[in-house]
Chain A
Amino acid sequence: GQQLNQSPQSMFIQEGEDVSMNCTSSSIFNTWLWYKQDPGEGPVLLIALYKAGELTSNGRLTAQFGITRKDSFLNISASIPSDVGIYFCAGQPFNTDKLIFGTGTRLQVFP
């Protein structure tokens, strides 16, 4: 099925560093969502974005809905070991039930 371009594919950072990842698409989206998934568990919703240009924070996480509606980014500030996992972006096109998922960014945090 269709997937979004998500980068980077993986990141290896030191505890305390900031992290940035993004998703891009050739199509426009009505909604952008960011999820975190731990091994063997379901994705957990981190942030939902509904308006172009919207900037939303959830603790150390900040995400933005691109002004063109074709991209979104997620920043994590002052990373900690429990930030380890796979981060997925997901976009919902207009007038559809479906979520289009990004390919995922695998984050490793070293103490």
Chain B
Amino acid sequence: DTEVTQTPKHLVMGMTNKKSLKCEQHMGHRAMYWYKQKAKKPPELMFVYSYEKLSINESVPSRFSPECPNSSLLNLHLHALQPEDSALYLCASSQTRTYEQYFGPGTRLTVT
């Protein structure tokens, strides 16, 4: 089983809202990732967690706040977003940092 699940599938939020994206995997993977993908572009790495510790932050604005409560869960907390933050947000996981990554179906975020 190589399934990564993400909720919600779609999210529309105003610029003053606070919302969270959720990602879950039960493959025993110890590395988890958040990516942002704009239309017709490849995914762009945002954050990497390894063994529940943040190991990479790709200079992401503080209005995006990641959290890894345990080895199976990854959250992305959103606050005061801008319309240009509208995109497909993808979660991925891998056995460890140097193994192949498996992606979830994504959350389509629209900021109004």
Contacts and interface: CB of A to CB of B under 8 A. Distances in A.
Contacts of A99: 45, 101
Contacts, number: 58
Interface string B96-112: 01101111111010000
A97 B48 contact: yes
Counting chain B residues whose Cβ lies within 8 A of the other chain, the interface size class is 20 to 34
Interface in B36-72: 40-45, 48, 50, 55-56, 58
Contacts of A30: 98
Chain A interface main SS type: loop
A6 B100 CA distance: 19
Interface stretch (A13-21, A37-45, A62-70, A75-83): A37-45
Given A1-B44, A98-B56, A99-B45, A43 B103 contact: yes
Interface of B: 2, 4, 6, 31, 33, 40-45, 48, 50, 55-56, 58, 88, 90, 92, 97-98, 100-106, 108
